[in-house]
Structure 1
């Protein structure tokens, strides 16, 4: 009898353990990392059938005896459908380049780096069924918030590290919606995390303002003539009306038509650097589609020996990670990600930036001087539409020049800031600022701590109003 009771409770214990393990599996039990703990990676099932991949690098530069919290930068790529784990990591700012050689300008010098393949279906992330793709920026934000809960909650060391959300291109729309979703989860106690700030690099915050910038900008630099300008402006007006009528999918189609007009009128200008032809971009970002910004995932070929990112990610990196399912190809579902989001692609997110500012979150915008797709002219236009109380004062402040290190002989950019908003003009950079201007990018992300949990200062230029006005 005693043995039977013991066996009964043993069975109950086994079932409980099995149930616990099943719960762990449900939030993502596929994980790996290096032996020294400097890198960890894994999957989180953000929804049943929706598997999101993440990769965290611990910085070797973290001071061993400092009491100041060491920051973590979460990098969000654009597209939608561009892989942060692939392009942002190996193409722009991670510890290794596409040739798997050490990158001298890695942002690990300043912070830990967290790369996420979001939305699901991007990079190594995948969905079991196409109807599990997200269709809006908000849905994508909810998924990443679920991932952050799995990574941060219960990890005291990670909780103490303020998180700064950095974004590029379409990733900016993800960043502002994610920041709001994360803040809500923090306020309700569902997410144990300190949000340090949001940084929007060449970000697609207001599609209307960008499409209106293309024609005049290219006309001013002699890349198109009046005929091309008139065609461009006509389509931009059509897009403006479609956005006003909430016809966002139709606006996406017209946007594609406008890109074709720009390419035809300019003899193939590079949308990532208007000083070049698309075929001559030294960053070797290539695509066969004229709709370069979205419908095709980023491709990259190294300048050194011709390694392409697709081969690297589906070859040696896949072998290193060991947890990528055999049926999952890096970038294999990226086209589906964009197609699922066509109805949200042209939706503006200016109101979300305003909401972040009103909540006291540090918001920084930085833009490459020679970018076309998210031109500085368009960025300045949407900034002028902010309802933020400090806008008028900010607009009337003088800019401060930026240099690279101790060299004051060459201006690398400008910045100005007021309260919790800052803007960086990065000279000589196109769409991919960390690639084109790595030195000044590192200057930009120098981290200062203001001593406040939710108002940690991430950029050199974000100082208190009193100091700025001295």
Structure 2
């Protein structure tokens, strides 16, 4: 359908490739455990025109031969994506009237509102922006530095470990307040990703290799097999990417990650509030996520200043059921053009864990039926 709404998908990170969304979460094809391609049952392309962009530069197959080409902050990466979109609609002018939504996951909680804000403030923009939809949105980083309480209440750490974990989180918060953002990021890395022995404090306490789900201790989300597939010579030839190596995740994108070090803990909440005042917005979360647990986003939203805040605080959350058996899929809180959605039994990547529910959700949101 040439008139179908266009959904731009931006992965998180920063440094995670949108090819993950395309091949692992919601694109027309998926990669099996044996690195074979098969059709996806609940592909978002069945209802929408999907556009997947690898950004910031250096992510996926995108590249620069000059260190100055790497984006160093959210503003620079937003400018790059906006320029790419303008080029896209210049080439495919017939699509410029289609409804346009910015979607994504995780750090796209900053990418998406920043891009929407950019489009809104460009009086010459011809992009028909209607809204944004982000999963487990990493909007206001300091709001998520209370994981000691979540891990303790889920019995993943004990009281003694909680005290140490909380102390480390407090150190990071203090560094953020002092605007020592690079130091804050380095301590955050030790807490959740890497330490001197190659393991994070989170791993040493919980045994979990993944902070994307309370259920899966060693979740292999598909990024490794995606890298194997996309780095095959015949695949790269078909994609016209030359001999470039696909760099799909944060671990393989050191340059991108370090370039964003000072930007990582800066909030996008002010841009989000402006977008919420002017467009349709959906923030959805898997109830089993750890790193961007929905309880933290709910707390953040309760304090966010926007024109429907008072109504939001009084709004009733409703149970969402669908399917022949009317199973409980999740919970929805709606005020004006804003939707807060919780999807049951899913973690950080909702379309991966609950593909049918995610597809139903995005269709209903775009069609104003949620």
Q: Same fold (TM over 0.5)?
A: yes
Instruction: Determine the structure 1 residue equivalent to 2:14.
Output: 80
Identify which of 334, 337, 340 aligns with 2:253. 334
Aligned residue number for residue 446 of structure 1: 363
Q: What residue is the counterpart of 1:407 in the other structure? A: 325
Q: 1:219 to 1:458 in 2, by over 3 A?
A: farther
Q: Deviations over 1:296-340 (max 9, x none)?
A: xxx625xxxxxx111211224322222x133x2111872211111
For 2:298, which of 380, 385, 393 is the aligned residue? Answer: 380
Higher RCO (C-alpha under 8 Å, 6+ residues apart): 2
Q: Structure 1 residues 325 and 269, CA, compared in 2 at 3 Å: closer, same or farther?
A: closer
> SS of 2:37's equivalent?
coil
Equivalent residue runs for 1:282-301 within 5 Å: 284-285=220-221, 300-301=223-224
Match in the other structure for 1:245: 178
Task: Select 1:176's aligned residue among 113, 120, 131.
Answer: 113
Residues in 2 aligned to 1:241 and 1:459: alpha-carbon distance in whole angstroms:
42
Counterpart residue number, 1:4: none
User: How many residue pairs were aligned?
Assistant: 355
When Rg is computed on C-alpha atoms for both structures, the one with the higher figure is: 1
The TM-score, its normalising length taken from structure 2, stands at: 0.91
Q: Contact 1:83 / 1:117 at 8 angstroms: preserved in 2?
A: yes
Which residue in the other structure is 1:216 paired with? 149
Gaps of 5+ in 2: 193-199
Q: What is the aligned partner in structure 1 of residue 268 from structure 2?
A: 349
Structure 1 segments (4+ residues) deviating >4 Å:
none
Matching of residues 198-213 of structure 1 within 5 Å? 198-212=132-146
CA distance in 2, matches of 1:395, 1:320: 51
TM-score (norm 1): 0.72
Pick aligned residue for 1:161 from 85, 98, 103:
98
Unaligned segments of structure 1, at least 5 residues:
1-61, 286-298, 302-307, 449-456, 462-470
Hey, what's the Cα distance between the residues in 1 that align with 2:66 and 2:284? 37
Report the RMSD for the aligned CA atoms in angstroms. 1.8
Contact in 2 for aligned 1:73/1:113 (Cα 8 Å): yes
2-side partners of 1:246 and 1:94: how far apart?
39
The answer as to 2:178 corresponding to 1:232 is no
- Relative distance call for 1:238 and 1:458 in structure 2 (3 A) is farther
1:447 Cα deviation (Å)?
4.9
